[in-house]
Structure 1
């Protein structure tokens, strides 16, 4: 049983939490097993399990922000402090791992329930739930891979560690780490199943629709460096739903100017509590802040001056309308950037330019933005990647972007932290880009630790 203990803990937590709403109504909770479409719906309606508590360690290690020495010293969570300086020490916090696997387990329970039902009894609802379960599982797997796996390369993906791919809710088999190739294959298969079953519009907040699945595929293929497919799925997403917020319609005097579930949100998801990256504590990287021009409305909608540190700024542009977690979901603005970057890499210059001009026009003061006209593919690509950095700040994408862009010497960066007189660095393509698994996961689950 030792082999299965870690997954048993995950399953137990998931079952007790996710099923509470309908199990509480039963006379004997121990005898209840989800069997109906209603039960499946309730499992997927559990927003706190399916849409929250995704890993934030990657972003804690990113260069979007910095801390003063006093703030770092005052942090009570030693794992978060080690994450900030990329210390290669054992981690004890298993919640980074447990949260996504609770969502995976719920999705697996739903798929098991649906496999035992007759789809023809309510075909529309059956298909939607089938697509939602596959989407949630794929999204959770992708979040785990982005934190605990190395950058995807075709030449090495078959030998690099992936994550355990739990595809059933049972606890009677050992969790084994698949390869990175296996992991991304399963992510893609999940999103493809979602594409085949999700409706164009999903009336339920927190649930994915067809455009969400297209967006998930475009994000995954971008991480894999498969730019033709990333382009095609980004384009498919935006053909269904191209909406952007006109930043001129927002007030920069509001503490949190972006509404939760705003019209750019394709799928809402947030990390567990931000910890060190809490927007009221951390400071936006000063070099990054200076990249925004005066007429770029993101400069005042994303950031506000700090009252504690001179010439420093806090982030306030959360798409979850919160300073306590990171929005890590999918949005149209991200997909515009996926389409533009992929188009530039594929030498579709006109498409890349029109896509970026559409996005940036919505971000600048009315009448002040000058359309891009750069036609050199390499220069244009550099411009797009810079805009991606500026647009997706504090949005859960920087760590994955660093990993994939470090594979290209043109975009590789050395990360540096300064705490007092001490400097810390993270080199491009370091094995530390795949965060260490919690020692609890390694020991009780008997799965191998990441390579060092």
Structure 2
């Protein structure tokens, strides 16, 4: 058993423990924080909780190409990109990924622990806020189990170690062991299902907040990641409802500044910023060549595309500034989940229809042609290609790579320096597909089981 201070205070919340503890235990002179229901309601809008996706997730994936890696890399983002065993030896700063997600879990737990005693609010509002915190915490654990545990495998999930499941904010209490993959997923599902009855029907006025539509979309992602494709389809359809929000047709906008703010985008179901929402990413040339040259996503989101021949690495940039990408869930993701499940189940016309619904809003209308095929492998290829193109740089590709690797569908991934020399490789079924527990955690928890090196 590990002391909770070591998990929360010294690791996840090193720079934020004081403020979190202040919210929970200290009443500053002349000021009361998290006392009334309205305080908790506002707290759920905090920047920490609305930016839960780590930008570094993009750096793990095979569609990025960083040509500026120094000869002796020491920045955490460089080490993430190279799939290093550890990303920092500085145990005095919150570690990449782990620190952010456990920091937010601490905050959600603070809401769950305190909301019932809050004043000046209705019981209905308390239940709603509690439900939103359950959904938010589940979303954070979905990242953690897909970073620090092996990909879900029904045959081994009950024994594969995942992460500690924290529910308390008492820093003196003992922390549970590393839960298994099955236990984490079971808790994610049960918490979201417990939240749904008390959530509002939708979050159209603020997509960062919890709602039944948002909860169903997260469940769809959960079931996709666990290979339960019919359940994934069920919840994806529930999240879309009988009248799904329209996909924005890029043929109708002049530039990305015309894309609505994330908080009110009809096509975003559960909005989340990344930790560096405006950071440019540099695609691999192979990834860029997956796009049709008539694809309006190239025009709107990618800089320096030239004549689309891409003769040099590190020139074209994905630039989300002006239309920040959503690390949460979206209508497009739900349609792609439905498409993948349909393709896997042999329902090829259904899969193609979902993919074409997206493509017709992305390809120049004067040249658009719907995809068609009666070949199951080809249709699955269409689905997975569209998933890569539409969900690019939203923190999802790394988790997809893990899923594909478990199905023997990943080849070796290489990293190159500016002179095209190989500087790192990620082999199929390699240990690096599961992140190592950070040194900052291991230093204070020497008995915590490690992941494979």
TM-score by length of 1: 0.86
1:232 Cα deviation (Å)? 0.6
Instruction: Name which of structure 1's ranges 237-246 and 73-82 shifts more when overlaid on structure 2.
Output: 73-82
Task: Tell me, in whole angstroms, the C-alpha distance in 1 between the residues paired with 2:422 and 2:290.
Answer: 27
The C-alpha deviation readout for 1:81-134, integer Å capped at 9, x for no partner, is 222222324633514212212221221122222344799x72442332122111
Task: Tell me, in whole angstroms, the C-alpha distance in 2 between the residues paired with 1:101 and 1:90.
Answer: 17
Give 2:88's aligned residue.
Answer: 91
Q: Does the C-alpha gap of structure 1 residues 192 and 416 become closer, same or farther in structure 2, counting only changes over 3 Å?
A: same
Q: Does the C-alpha gap of structure 1 residues 286 and 193 become closer, same or farther in structure 2, counting only changes over 3 Å?
A: same
Instruction: Name which of structure 1's ranges 298-307 and 181-190 shifts more when overlaid on structure 2.
Output: 298-307
Task: Tell me, in whole angstroms, the C-alpha distance in 1 between the residues paired with 2:194 and 2:110.
Answer: 16
1:433 Cα deviation (Å)? 1.0
Is it true that 1:366 corresponds to 2:368 in the alignment? no
Give 1:414's aligned residue.
Answer: 412
1:33 Cα deviation (Å)? 7.4
Say how many residue pairs are matched: 435
Task: Tell me, in whole angstroms, the C-alpha distance in 2 between the residues paired with 1:19 and 1:284.
Answer: 41
Equivalent runs, 1:419-430 vs 2, <5 Å: 419=417, 420=419, 421-430=421-430
- 2:395 alignment partner, SS class: coil
Give 2:109's aligned residue.
Answer: 108
- 2:200 alignment partner, SS class: coil
1:45 Cα deviation (Å)? 2.3
Q: Does the C-alpha gap of structure 1 residues 89 and 113 become closer, same or farther in structure 2, counting only changes over 3 Å?
A: closer
1:21 Cα deviation (Å)? 9.1
Is the contact between residue 327 and residue 394 of structure 1 (CA under 8 Å) also seen in structure 2? no
Q: Does the C-alpha gap of structure 1 residues 228 and 354 become closer, same or farther in structure 2, counting only changes over 3 Å?
A: same
Is the contact between residue 4 and residue 170 of structure 2 (CA under 8 Å) also seen in structure 1? no
Task: Tell me, in whole angstroms, the C-alpha distance in 2 between the residues paired with 1:75 and 1:268.
Answer: 37
Give 2:231's aligned residue.
Answer: 229
Q: Does the C-alpha gap of structure 1 residues 197 and 376 become closer, same or farther in structure 2, counting only changes over 3 Å?
A: farther
Q: Does the C-alpha gap of structure 1 residues 451 and 174 become closer, same or farther in structure 2, counting only changes over 3 Å?
A: same
Is the contact between residue 9 and residue 17 of structure 2 (CA under 8 Å) also seen in structure 1? no
Task: Tell me, in whole angstroms, the C-alpha distance in 1 between the residues paired with 2:97 and 2:356.
Answer: 37
CA RMSD of aligned residues (A): 3.1
Give 2:333's aligned residue.
Answer: 334
Give 2:319's aligned residue.
Answer: 316
Instruction: Name which of structure 1's ranges 256-265 and 427-436 shifts more when overlaid on structure 2.
Output: 256-265
Give 1:269's aligned residue.
Answer: 272
Is the contact between residue 349 and residue 377 of structure 1 (CA under 8 Å) also seen in structure 2? yes
Is the contact between residue 251 and residue 364 of structure 2 (CA under 8 Å) also seen in structure 1? yes
1:152 Cα deviation (Å)? 0.9
Task: Tell me, in whole angstroms, the C-alpha distance in 2 between the residues paired with 1:2 and 1:163.
Answer: 12
Task: Tell me, in whole angstroms, the C-alpha distance in 1 between the residues paired with 2:330 and 2:157.
Answer: 28
Q: Does the C-alpha gap of structure 1 residues 17 and 333 become closer, same or farther in structure 2, counting only changes over 3 Å?
A: farther
Task: Tell me, in whole angstroms, the C-alpha distance in 2 between the residues paired with 1:250 and 1:21.
Answer: 44
1:174 Cα deviation (Å)? 2.2
The C-alpha deviation readout for 1:394-436, integer Å capped at 9, x for no partner, is 1110000000011223x32221111133342101221111112
- 2:350 alignment partner, SS class: helix
Task: Tell me, in whole angstroms, the C-alpha distance in 1 between the residues paired with 2:163 and 2:39.
Answer: 28
Task: Tell me, in whole angstroms, the C-alpha distance in 2 between the residues paired with 1:23 and 1:224.
Answer: 39
Is the contact between residue 5 and residue 444 of structure 1 (CA under 8 Å) also seen in structure 2? no
Q: Does the C-alpha gap of structure 1 residues 65 and 359 become closer, same or farther in structure 2, counting only changes over 3 Å?
A: same
Is it true that 1:80 corresponds to 2:81 in the alignment? no
Give 2:396's aligned residue.
Answer: 397
TM-score by length of 2: 0.86
1:53 Cα deviation (Å)? 4.9
2:220 is aligned, of 218, 221, 224, to 218
Task: Tell me, in whole angstroms, the C-alpha distance in 2 between the residues paired with 1:100 and 1:428.
Answer: 27
Give 1:204's aligned residue.
Answer: 206
More helix by share: 1
Q: Does the C-alpha gap of structure 1 residues 40 and 13 become closer, same or farther in structure 2, counting only changes over 3 Å?
A: farther
Unaligned runs of at least 5 residues, structure 1: none
1:288 Cα deviation (Å)? 1.1
Equivalent runs, 1:32-71 vs 2, <5 Å: 34-46=34-46, 48-68=47-67, 71=68
The C-alpha deviation readout for 1:142-194, integer Å capped at 9, x for no partner, is 12222222211111212212111112222212252111111111121222223
Task: Tell me, in whole angstroms, the C-alpha distance in 2 between the residues paired with 1:259 and 1:5.
Answer: 41
Q: Does the C-alpha gap of structure 1 residues 284 and 258 become closer, same or farther in structure 2, counting only changes over 3 Å?
A: farther
1:366 Cα deviation (Å)? 1.9
- 1:72 alignment partner, SS class: coil
- 2:303 alignment partner, SS class: strand
Instruction: Name which of structure 1's ranges 171-180 and 196-205 shifts more when overlaid on structure 2.
Output: 196-205
Q: Does the C-alpha gap of structure 1 residues 150 and 110 become closer, same or farther in structure 2, counting only changes over 3 Å?
A: same
Is the contact between residue 76 and residue 96 of structure 2 (CA under 8 Å) also seen in structure 1? no
Unaligned runs of at least 5 residues, structure 2: none
Is the contact between residue 436 and residue 449 of structure 1 (CA under 8 Å) also seen in structure 2? yes
Give 2:140's aligned residue.
Answer: 140
2:247 is aligned, of 244, 259, 275, to 244
